[in-house]
Chains A and B, each alone.
Chain A
Amino acid sequence: MRAILFILLALALAALQAASLRWVGGGAFSLALPLVVVVHLGLTAPSVEGAVTAAGVGYVVDLMTGGPKGLMTFLAVGLYLFSRLAGASVDVNGRAGFAVLTTLGVFLFGAATLGMIGLVSPAEVAPAGRLLGRVGTEAVATGLASVFLQPLLRRIDRFFTREDPGMLR
């Protein structure tokens, strides 16, 4: 249930960013809001559930980007694993840490996308390295937006977390 809700949330975020960017910037920069969900999953969800949900979010991103199927799904699962690894290594539960992790994760996600597409595309149509600048901008913008999305994601998490009775806070 939680996975479905997060996937639907990712779908809604994808639609929201598409609609928002029509009014803000008009495409001068981009966002990757569904990936915030994946980063959050990496910090909070167990392995199987997180990976499956990340794959679902990746599928949504696949549909939205219109590229070859499977790439975003693969990279979303990879981003989930990266976030899980990072969350286990350093404390990134605060807003700033979450934003930094999201920025880094989205940048790596974008760079990996460029690299993978470059692998399967003819040289003349392969994305050039200069697109890394746009990927960086997208990563920063998404990292900033993640600060505002994190409370929403945590609120959703609370629906599915049963607190132990008698536990003092």
Chain B
Amino acid sequence: MLGLLKRFRDLLLVAALLVVPLAVFFAHAKRPTERSKLDRAVVSLTAPVERGVAWVVGSALEGWRGYVSLRGVRERAVELSRRVNELELGRLEMERLEKENDRLRKLLGFAEREGDLELVGARVVGVRLDPKGLQLVTVDRGADDGLQRMMPVVAPEGVVGRVHAVTRHTADVLLLVDRNSSVAARVERSRARANVRGLGDPYTCRLDYALRSDDLVEDDVLVTSGTDGVFPRGLPVGKVRNLKKQGQGLYQKADVAPAVDVTKLEEVLVVVGGGDRRADPEPEPAAPVPSAAQGAKPAAPVPSAAQAAKPAVPVPSAPQPAKPAAAAPSAPQPAKRAAPVPSAPQAANPASAAAGEVP
């Protein structure tokens, strides 16, 4: 028996290694047992390996992601940067369109308010606010669109200027702030009459011919009186600033802050017709009498509303000296102006005659 066991020892051992685990399996299969201390000790041996592998793999992956895989990142960054720039441009374009939409809405609102005027919308395509020359902006409407010289140009905020020169497709607008511009105005609150003249400064005009006795206070709103034959009445011109009431003299002095910031103009409206409100309801001053000093033809009377489109007073280009017979003298020389006959109380105020003239 012992010899038999010795002879088949290996075989029996292998068989035991097969049978015992199988018996253990069947014994525990229906009733699982907890791990023994030995089991737990053996399993715990794997923890350092797993942690080590996790650390190695994690570090390797981190290194890969942090360095090796960054190989095309620069190109991607450039691409993304380009895309960001495109989107930013798109956003700016949308903002611009939104603002333009707001402005056009205001223009539309103005056009609807001034329903009796024939208006042509125009876009500012050029700006020439050169202190050495005229304060002009160029708009994208011209003679083909019905624009003519001396036509008033307005914005929702108020008076912009008037058409100075036209080509077929564009027109130059002489701004209110130009030294050669002058608008007959009225204080909205007290209805006192005056004249607003540009100084060549985009932010300031001068108030001329405001009688010392007139009711005028700081921040009074000036509107067009319509007596210059160019602008419809009632359009905002600006606000009175730096009012100085002197103890002597006929007039009080003041600056005017223009209602329209001409440095931010983008769209304007050109009044090409209509405007039965141009004439002020008050009586027109009598025809001017020629000045003896000038000895020439009298200064052109203020044209009627119907004549506004073709004013009697031509507007030569600024640098050229005007012929005294055809044009009224420039504003800084009011003494040479043909004095209107004071047939009416308001006629003593030369504002209505001086307005709307360019040397």
Contacts and interface: CB of A to CB of B under 8 A. Distances in A.
B13 A68 contact: no
Interface string B1-29: 00000000111011001101111111111
A165 to B, nearest CB: 29
A71 B28 CA distance: 10
A19 B54 contact: yes
A59 to B, nearest CB: 8
B57 A15 contact: no
Interface string B132-157: 00000000000000000000000000
Nearest to B25: A70
A69 B57 contact: no
Interface in A81-125: 81, 116-117, 120-121
Contact of B46 (A15, A23, A54): A15
B35 A15 contact: no
Interface of A is mostly: helix
Contacts of A23: 57, 61
B21 A70 contact: yes
Nearest to B47: A15
B42 interface: yes
A19 B22 contact: no
Contacts of B42: 11, 59-60, 63
Nearest to A73: B21
B37 interface: no
Contacts of A18: 46, 50
B65 to A, nearest CB: 13
Contacts of A132: none
Interface stretch (A45-53, A133-141, A147-155, A156-164): A45-53
Interface of B: 9-11, 13-14, 17-18, 20-30, 32-33, 35, 39, 42-43, 45-47, 49-50, 52-54, 57, 61
29 contacts: A12-B46, A14-B46, A15-B45, A15-B47, A15-B53, A19-B49, A47-B11, A47-B13, A51-B13, A52-B17, A54-B17, A55-B17, A59-B42, A60-B42, A63-B39, A69-B21, A69-B24, A70-B26, A71-B21, A71-B22, A74-B25, A77-B17, A77-B21, A78-B18, A81-B14, A116-B25, A120-B26, A120-B29, A120-B30
